[in-house]
Structure 1
Amino acid sequence: MVNIDQGESQPSDLDRIARSPEVSREGWIQTVEDVQAMMADRENEGYETLFLPSGHTTPKNPESGETEEWGLSYIVPGNKVDPFIEFNERANFSETAVYQSTAGENVFIVTECIDPEAKLSLFIGGAYRIRFSPPMVRTAMEEGKMYSHLKRLDGTLIHTFEHEHPESFFPDPDQFYAYETDI
C-alpha cells in the first residue's frame, strides 16, 4: 500500500505510468499528449471518446504462458474498468487505427477502436519493450490478425479485440525481427 502524506493527493493513472521505471518518461508524455489531441479531434467531429492508459503492456505469443492467447495484453487501471464496460456495451467497433513510435527499445502504441455509426472512439495506450515482441509479431503476420486483450491487475480478462490487418501494428516487421534471439 502506498502511504500518502497529509496534503498530498493520489497521483493520476497517467502520472503514475509516466513515473514508471519501465517506461521512458518523455515517450509516454508525448504519447499522452498525442492521444489528447486525437481525442479532441474526434470530439470536434461529434464523437464520444474514452482513453484507457495501460499500467503495463505485454507482448504475448502463443507459447508465452498457460494459454495460447497472443497479442498485446494491457492492464487496465481499476477506475477505468466500469467506464470501459459501459462504453463498450454501446459500441460496435468496426474500424481500427494504430499509432505508434519507438524510442530506444520502447514501443509507444495507441490503438483506436472506432464505431463510426454510434460515433464512439476508444483509445488504448501502452508501452512495451520491443525485444519481447518478435514471436508475437511473427504470429500476427502468419495468422493475418492481431489481438488486444484488456485485463484487470489480477489477470482477469475484461475484453478481447480482434484486429484485421496486423501490418497496421507492424508496418515494418523486420524492425521487430531484428530483436530475435536464438535462446
Structure 2
Amino acid sequence: MPTAGDDGGAERLAAHAAGNKRAWQATLDDVDELAAGRATDGWEVVTVVAGQTAPRPRETGGTDRYGLVHVVSKSDADPFATAYERGEYPRYDVYRATTDTRLFLVTECLDPGSRTAILVAGSVRRDDARALARTAARTGRMYTHVRTLDGTHLGSFEHATPEKFFPVTDRGSQSSGEDCR
C-alpha cells in the first residue's frame, strides 16, 4: 500500500505489470497466428511456451553455452525433442516486443527439408538480458537452449544474427549472419 511519502513507485509497478501482462498475451497470440500460418502452408508446427526464460551470458558458469535458456513443461518436452531430432533447422527468425522492463520473444526455427517449424516463446527481464546482449554482440552468435525443469537438455540452436534478439539499446554493437543450429 503506498504511503503519503511514496513517489508513485507502486503505481509505476502496477502499470508495468499490466503492460507486461498485455504484451505476454500478445506474444502468445502471435505464436498461435504464426503456427496457424505455417500449418496452412503445409508445415508441421511444434510450439513450446517457456514457463521461465533465463539469459545466460558467457561469463556465467565459465561456459560457451550462453544464450536464452527456455524451461518447458513435460508436455512440451516430447514433441519438441522429436521435432528437434528430426530436422536441421538452417533457417530462423525472431519476433520480439519490448516493454520498459521486459523482452518478449518468439524464436521460429525452420527445417525446409522436413517442413517442420519449431516456435519457442519466452519472456525475460531486460535488465537481466543486457549482459547476454553484449556477449552476443561481441561474439556475433546467439544460442537458444530448451530444457525441462529437472535440467534435461532437449536441444540448442545457434544463431548468427544476434541483433534479431535484442533492442539496439540493450546490445551495444551489431553483427550479422544467417544460420541456425
TM-score by length of 2: 0.79
**Given the alignment of the two structures, is residue 50 of structure 1 paired with residue 41 of structure 2, yes or no?**
no
Match of 2:35 in 1: 39
* Identity between Structure 1 and Structure 2 (%): 34
Distance in 2 between residues matched to 1:91 and 1:67, nearest whole Å: 26
Letter in 2 for 1:39: A
Matches within 5 A, 1:67-78: 67-78=63-74
Match of 1:173 in 2: 168
Match of 2:114 in 1: 118
TM-score by length of 1: 0.79
Distance in 2 between residues matched to 1:62 and 1:175, nearest whole Å: 16
Match of 2:99 in 1: 103
What is the aligned residue count?
Answer: 155
Is 1:137–1:173's contact at 8 Å kept on the other side of the alignment? Answer: no
Q: Could you list the runs of 5+ residues in structure 2 that have no partner in the other structure?
A: 1-16, 173-181
Is 1:130–1:176's contact at 8 Å kept on the other side of the alignment? Answer: no
Q: CA deviation at 1:176?
A: 4.8
**Given the alignment of the two structures, is residue 29 of structure 1 paired with residue 22 of structure 2, yes or no?**
no
Q: CA deviation at 1:135?
A: 1.3
Distance in 2 between residues matched to 1:103 and 1:45, nearest whole Å: 32
C-alpha RMSD of matched pairs (Å): 1.8
Q: CA deviation at 1:37?
A: 0.7
Is 1:59–1:72's contact at 8 Å kept on the other side of the alignment? Answer: yes
Distance in 2 between residues matched to 1:97 and 1:117, nearest whole Å: 17
Q: CA deviation at 1:157?
A: 1.7
The range that moved more, 53-62 or 148-157, is: 148-157
Q: CA deviation at 1:104?
A: 2.4
1:133 aligns to what SS in structure 2? helix
Structure with greater proportional helix content: 2
